[in-house]
Every structure is written in C-alpha cells, then in structure tokens.
Amino acid sequence: MSRRSSSQKNSVLGHRARMRERVLRNGVESLADYEIIEMLLFLSVPRQDTKPRAKELMATFGSIGGVVNAPVTRLREIGLNDKAIKIMRLPQAAASLLAVSEPQAEIVVGAWEELVDYLHDTMEIMPEDSSRVLFLNNKNRLLADEAFNVGRDTQDMFRRALSLHATALICLHSVQFNVQGEARRLRTVAIKLQKETEHLAITLHDYILIDKQFELFSFRQQGIIV
C-alpha cells in the first residue's frame, strides 16, 4: 500500500470515528441529513469516503425519506451494491416494526377523502417514478406504508402483506407527467395484480397514479379493476 493510499485510509477512518463520537455525545439530531445517509453507507463501504455518494443520493432523491424509499433499480443505477441497498432499507424496516409493535394514533383510509388527505400529507417522501404500497387491516386501518416496485417486487410485497396480516392493499405510483399515458402503460399490471391478490384472499382496494400537480388516476374509479 502506498504512503498516499495509507494516509487516505487513515483520514477516512478518523472522519468516521469523529462522526460516531459526535452522535454519542450530541445525538443523531446533530447530524445533517446527508451525514445520516453517510453513516448508513459506512456499513457497506468499509474504507472509502462515503460523503460524495451520500450527497449524490440526497441531491437525487431530495430527502432522507426519498433515499430510503427509493426504488432498488434507481439505487443500483447510482452505484449502490445489494448490501448497501439492504442497509438503506433498515430505517424503513425499523419504522414498520415500531408501527406494528407500538401503540399509535390510528390512520384510517377507508374512504376516498381520507386517502386523498393522507396522500397530501405524505407525497413529499415519494420520489418521481416510484411506487408505494399501503397495507391495511379489515377495518382499513393503515398497518404500513412502504416502498415496493409494484410491477416487479410483487412476491416481496405479498410476503410483507402476510407478515403484517394485512387484508387489503392500495398501490401508489408517482409519475412526472402524463398520467393518462402511464395509465395505459400500467393497465395490464393493475389487472394482473388484482388477480394475484384474489388468490391470496387479499383485496386490492385501488391502484392510483399521482403526478407532480397531484392529479390522481384511480384504476378502480375508471372501472379497470373492480
């Protein structure tokens, strides 16, 4: 190992040690948002400076929520390996476990108006061209709101539904523009998804497309799924 590379390694390790000390001394709230992502990357990139990658992720997805909920394909495009992607999912997984295990105010999205209000409150965590799934119980109480590629990650999505004892799903997809065009493209996905949920005795309440202007396209309201 050259003297220069050894010096760079020591600099990286020293930076990481100082950040850990800062968290222990002042709490995680003392970190900037990109530094939280940087510390998550520590676990998958042992000896490299992760600050540039953390800043790139924040610039691309806009927030911590945007990063940890980003589609796997987008994270791979940026250069994250599978280990890093799994680690990026840890905050989401922890939040979901806490949501299930700890008492909290009930969020019910049984009526269209309740769903629209909820989407207004949570759209900022949803990057463009990404999908989320709302898992509901038999009283339409929200059990979890998590990122899944609805067209590709269906098996993982169904396993998650079964682990939560969910009886219904609402799938959401964020598009940049042209909701009608995306609806034509995803029509077969919505129909196939409904058939698959029926086999598991899970109800697909709706599959909804949302654009930047908050224009909504409901496959159920349009009669494409019933």
Q: What pLDDT is stored for residue 27 in this prediction?
A: 73
The pLDDT-based confidence of 1 (bands split at 50, 70, 90) is: very low
Multiple choice CATH, 105-218, 3.50.50.60, 3.40.140.10, 3.40.50.150, 1.20.120.140:
3.40.140.10
Choose among 75, 212, 83, 213: nearest CA to 147. Answer: 75
Looking at the predicted structure, is the pLDDT value of residue 18 above 80?
Answer: no
Looking at the predicted structure, is the pLDDT value of residue 93 above 70?
Answer: no
What is the rounded distance in angstroms from the CA atom of residue 26 to the CA atom of residue 38? 17
- Of 39-43, 49-53, 110-114, 122-126, minimum mean pLDDT range: 122-126
Looking at the predicted structure, is the pLDDT value of residue 141 above 50?
Answer: yes
CB 224 within 8 A of CB 191: yes
Choose among 215, 220, 214: nearest CA to 120. Answer: 214
The pLDDT-based confidence of 95 (bands split at 50, 70, 90) is: low
Structure tokens at 95: 């939040």
Q: Which residue has better confidence, 151 or 3?
A: 151
Q: What pLDDT is stored for residue 44 in this prediction?
A: 73
Average confidence score pLDDT of the chain:
80
Q: What pLDDT is stored for residue 102 in this prediction?
A: 44
Q: What pLDDT is stored for residue 104 in this prediction?
A: 45
Looking at the predicted structure, is the pLDDT value of residue 29 above 90?
Answer: no
Q: Which residue has better confidence, 146 or 102?
A: 146
Residues 142-180 pLDDT 10s:
998 888 888 777 888 898 999 999 999 999 988 877 788
The domains of the chain are located at: 3-92, 105-218
Looking at the predicted structure, is the pLDDT value of residue 100 above 60?
Answer: no
Q: Decide the pairing of beta strands 142-147 and 203-210.
A: unpaired
The pLDDT-based confidence of 70 (bands split at 50, 70, 90) is: confident
Choose among 146, 149, 130, 142: nearest CA to 167. Answer: 142
Q: What pLDDT is stored for residue 128 in this prediction?
A: 66
